[in-house]
Amino acid sequence: MLTFLANAKINLHLEIIGSRPDGFHELVMVMQSVALADRITLRPLNTPTIQIQCDHPQVPTDSANLAYQAVALLQERLPHRTNQKGGVEITIEKKIPVGAGLAGGSSNAAAVLFGLDILWDLGLTRVELQELGSELGSDVPFCLAGGCAIATGRGEEVNLLYKNNSLHAVLAKYNSLSVSTPWAYQTYREQFGHTYIPVDRFTSLEKRRARVHSGSMVQAIGKKQSQAIGSNLYNDLEKIVLPAHPKVALLKSTMTALAAQFNALGTLMSGSGPTLFTLSETPEQAQSMAKALRQSVSDSDLMVYTAPFTAHGIETLS
Ligand code: C5P
The structural domains of the chain, with segments of one domain joined by +, span 2-164, 168-308
- Percent of the chain topping pLDDT 70: 94
Query: In this model, does residue 225 exceed pLDDT 60?
Result: yes
**Among 9, 85, 95, 173, the one annotated catalytic:** 9
What does the pLDDT read at residue 162?
Answer: 73
Dihedral angle sign, alpha carbons of residues 275, 281, 284, 289: negative
> Same topology for domains 2-164 and 168-308, yes or no?
no
Question: What is the 8-class DSSP label of residue 194?
Answer: G
Confidence of residue 215 (pLDDT cuts 50, 70, 90): confident
| Mean pLDDT lowest among 84-98, 145-159, 190-204 | 190-204
Query: Is 99 touching ligand 1 by the criterion CB < 6 Å?
Result: no
Closest residue by CA, ligand 1 atom 8: 182
| Mean pLDDT lowest among 113-117, 164-168, 222-226 | 164-168
Look up 9 and say whether it is catalytic.
Answer: yes
Q: CA neighbours within 13 Å on the CB side: how many for 41?
A: 10
State how far the Cα of 168 lies from the Cα of 117, in Å rounded to an integer.
Answer: 31
State how far the Cα of 293 lies from the Cα of 295, in Å rounded to an integer.
Answer: 5
The alpha carbon of 234 and the centre of ligand 1 are apart by a number of angstroms equal to 19
Which residue among 29, 66, 108, 181 has the greatest number of ligand 1 atoms within 8 angstroms of its CB, and so is best to mutate? 181
Residue 28 phi, psi dihedral angles, 5° rounding: -130, 120
Instruction: Return the CA Rg of the chain.
Output: 19
The alpha carbon of 245 and the centre of ligand 1 are apart by a number of angstroms equal to 20
**Mean per-residue pLDDT, 43-69:** 96
Under 8 Å CB-to-CB from 178, ≥6 apart: which residues?
58, 98, 99, 100, 274
Residue 257 to residues 171, 173, 219, 234, 260, Cα–Cα distance (Å): 15, 17, 26, 18, 5
Query: Is 174 touching ligand 1 by the criterion CB < 6 Å?
Result: no
167 touches 229 (CB < 8 A): yes
What does the pLDDT read at residue 318?
Answer: 79
**Among 38, 117, 139, 236, the one annotated catalytic:** 139
Q: Which residue has the higher pLDDT, 295 or 203?
A: 295
Residue 38 to residues 55, 69, 79, 118, 313, Cα–Cα distance (Å): 11, 17, 29, 19, 11
| Mean pLDDT lowest among 168-182, 207-221, 235-249, 250-264 | 207-221
The burial class, CB within 10 Å (0-12 / 13-18 / 19+), for 240 is buried
Confidence of residue 202 (pLDDT cuts 50, 70, 90): low
Query: In this model, does residue 138 exceed pLDDT 90?
Result: yes
pLDDT digits (tens, 9 = 90+) for 61-105: 999 999 999 999 999 999 999 989 999 999 999 999 999 999 999
Look up 38 and say whether it is catalytic.
Answer: no
Reported pTM: 0.96
The alpha carbon of 139 and the centre of ligand 1 are apart by a number of angstroms equal to 9
**Mean per-residue pLDDT, 265-272:** 98
Which residue among 17, 24, 134, 241 has the greatest number of ligand 1 atoms within 8 angstroms of its CB, and so is best to mutate? 24
Query: Is 155 touching ligand 1 by the criterion CB < 6 Å?
Result: yes
Query: In this model, does residue 201 exceed pLDDT 70?
Result: no
Task: Judge: domain 2-164, CATH 3.30.230.10.
Answer: yes
Q: Which residue has the higher pLDDT, 107 or 198?
A: 107
What does the pLDDT read at residue 197?
Answer: 76
Task: Report the topology of domain 168-308.
Answer: Alpha-Beta Plaits (3.30.70)
What does the pLDDT read at residue 231?
Answer: 95
287 touches 253 (CB < 8 A): no
262 touches 288 (CB < 8 A): yes
Query: Is 274 touching ligand 1 by the criterion CB < 6 Å?
Result: no
Under 8 Å CB-to-CB from 209, ≥6 apart: which residues?
17, 28, 152
